[in-house]
């Protein structure tokens, strides 16, 4: 869980522009459906929630089920009207919360 | 679950893998009914109109462990009327839930992409809810080749 998420979004945008944001969090997303070599079920451990905020306001979020592939990838959009900071949050089943921030200049 | 690790999948012959899957998780696969139940919970029993939804998925997914999925709703995203939620369910996985996307008027577009796991050939059903309480739906079938050489 110490791995860092990857973020891809523009550094600059025009006022009112709809920008594309891509994120990827390295994580096994253990589904809880697999069994180990002794036949015991490997417990579920996934990122169950992802959120994106801009200047403290919600832009996009997702509740994720075990059907999301390993290294959960999210691509979505945001309409930016002013410069500010995006904050991204990933929540693990074990309660771990990972955050990342990225600034954008809107002119 | 058919999400065998690549190692496990390679260790088994194709027919052996199929037998293992059946014996392993019999009755654990979601039925279309469970998916329908999830949708009914999401819509509160309202009928969703078959319109406005586009779903991008490969027709044939060689590796069910990571299948690219894009969903989009052809609807305005204004403060007064926007797509607030999109539910994605799969009717052939052990459980139907895939994801629920939440949007705001700041989202700009009612569109999201991710990568999903598919246990077998099945339908992906998408239901969108607008801030005005309207529901739209669409679905698409994906053929999944498990443990194939393409993984």
Measured between beta carbons, the chain A residues lying within 8 angstroms of B114 are 62, 68-69, 72-75
Interface of A with B (CB under 8 A): 18-19, 31, 33-35, 54, 57-70, 72-79
Residue A50: per-residue pLDDT: 98
Are the Cβ atoms of B99 and A66 closer than 8 angstroms? no
For residue B31, what pLDDT band results from cuts at 50, 70 and 90? confident
Are the Cβ atoms of A73 and B112 closer than 8 angstroms? no
Q: In what order do the strands lie in the sheet with B122-130?
A: A12-13, A97-106, A84-92, A47-54, A57-64, B97-103, B83-90, B122-130, B135-144, B60-61
Q: Is residue A1 part of a domain?
A: no
Instruction: List the domain boundaries for chain B.
Output: 29-144
Report whether A42 contacts A35 (CB < 8 A): yes
Q: Is residue A102 part of a domain?
A: yes
CA atoms within 13 A on the CB side of B111: 20
List, for residues A36-73, the tens digit of each pLDDT value. Answer: 999 999 999 999 999 999 999 999 999 999 999 999 99
A51 Rama class: left (phi>0) / alpha (psi -120 to 50) / beta: beta
Measure Cα distances from B7 to A31, A32, B119, B127, B151 in Å: 17, 18, 17, 36, 11
For residue A22, what pLDDT band results from cuts at 50, 70 and 90? very high
- Domain range for A94 is 6-106
Question: Is B102 exposed, middle or buried, given 0-12, 13-18 or 19+ CB atoms closer than 10 A?
Answer: buried
For residue A33, what pLDDT band results from cuts at 50, 70 and 90? confident
Closest-approach residue (CA) in chain A for B97: A65
Number of domains in chain A: 1
Reply yes or no on whether the pLDDT at B21 is more than 70: no
What is the reported pTM? 0.86
List, for residues B59-69, the tens digit of each pLDDT value. Answer: 999 899 999 99
Q: Which of A66, A67, A70 to mutate to test the interface with B (most CBs of B within 10 A)?
A: A67
Q: Is residue A84 part of a domain?
A: yes
Tokens of residue A39, six digits: 């036949």
Reply yes or no on whether the pLDDT at B126 is more than 50: yes
Q: Which residue has the higher pLDDT, B2 or B145?
A: B145
Shortest distance between the Cα of B74 and any Cα of chain A, in A, equals 14
Q: Which of B115, B122, B142 to mutate to test the interface with A (most CBs of A within 10 A)?
A: B115
- Which among B1, B99, B104 is the nearest to A63, CB-wise? B99
Q: Is residue A66 part of a domain?
A: yes
Reply yes or no on whether the pLDDT at B19 is more than 90: no
For residue B14, what pLDDT band results from cuts at 50, 70 and 90? very low
Q: Is residue A37 part of a domain?
A: yes
Closest-approach residue (CA) in chain B for A19: B108
CATH says B29-144 is which class? mainly beta
Residue B56: per-residue pLDDT: 97
Are the Cβ atoms of B3 and A31 closer than 8 angstroms? yes
What CATH number does the domain containing A66 carry?
2.60.40.10
Sign (positive or negative) of CA dihedral B50, A61, B55, A68 = negative
Q: Mean pLDDT across chain B, nearest whole number?
A: 83
Write down the residue that tokens 């979505």 correspond to: A76
Could you count the other beta carbons within 10 Å of the beta carbon of residue A13? Answer: 19
Are the Cβ atoms of B25 and A65 closer than 8 angstroms? no
């Amino acid at each position: 869980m110490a791995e860092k998420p990857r973020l891809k979004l523009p550094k600059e945008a025009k006022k009112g522009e709809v920008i594309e944001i891509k994120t990827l969090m390295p994580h096994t997303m253990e589904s809880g459906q697999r069994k180990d070599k002794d036949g015991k079920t490997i417990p579920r451990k996934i990122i169950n929630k992802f959120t994106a905020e801009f200047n403290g306001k919600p832009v996009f979020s997702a509740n994720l089920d075990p059907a999301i592939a390993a290294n959960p990838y999210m691509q979505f959009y945001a309409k930016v009207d002013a410069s500010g900071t995006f904050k991204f949050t990933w929540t693990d089943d074990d309660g771990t919360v990972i955050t990342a921030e990225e600034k954008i200049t809107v002119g | 679950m058919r999400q065998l690790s690549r190692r496990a999948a390679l260790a088994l012959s194709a027919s052996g893998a199929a037998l293992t899957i059946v014996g392993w998780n019999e009755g654990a696969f979601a039925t279309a009914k469970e998916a329908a139940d999830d949708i009914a919970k999401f819509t509160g029993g309202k009928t969703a109109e078959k319109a406005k939804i586009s779903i991008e998925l490969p027709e044939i997914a060689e590796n069910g462990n990571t299948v690219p999925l894009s969903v989009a709703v052809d609807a305005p995203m204004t403060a007064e009327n926007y797509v607030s939620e999109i539910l994605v369910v799969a009717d052939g996985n052990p459980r139907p839930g895939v994801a629920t996307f939440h949007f705001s008027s700041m989202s700009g577009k009612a569109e999201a992409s991710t990568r999903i796991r598919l246990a077998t050939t099945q339908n992906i059903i998408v239901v969108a809810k607008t801030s005005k309480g309207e529901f739209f739906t669409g679905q698409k079938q994906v053929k999944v080749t498990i443990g194939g050489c393409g993984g």
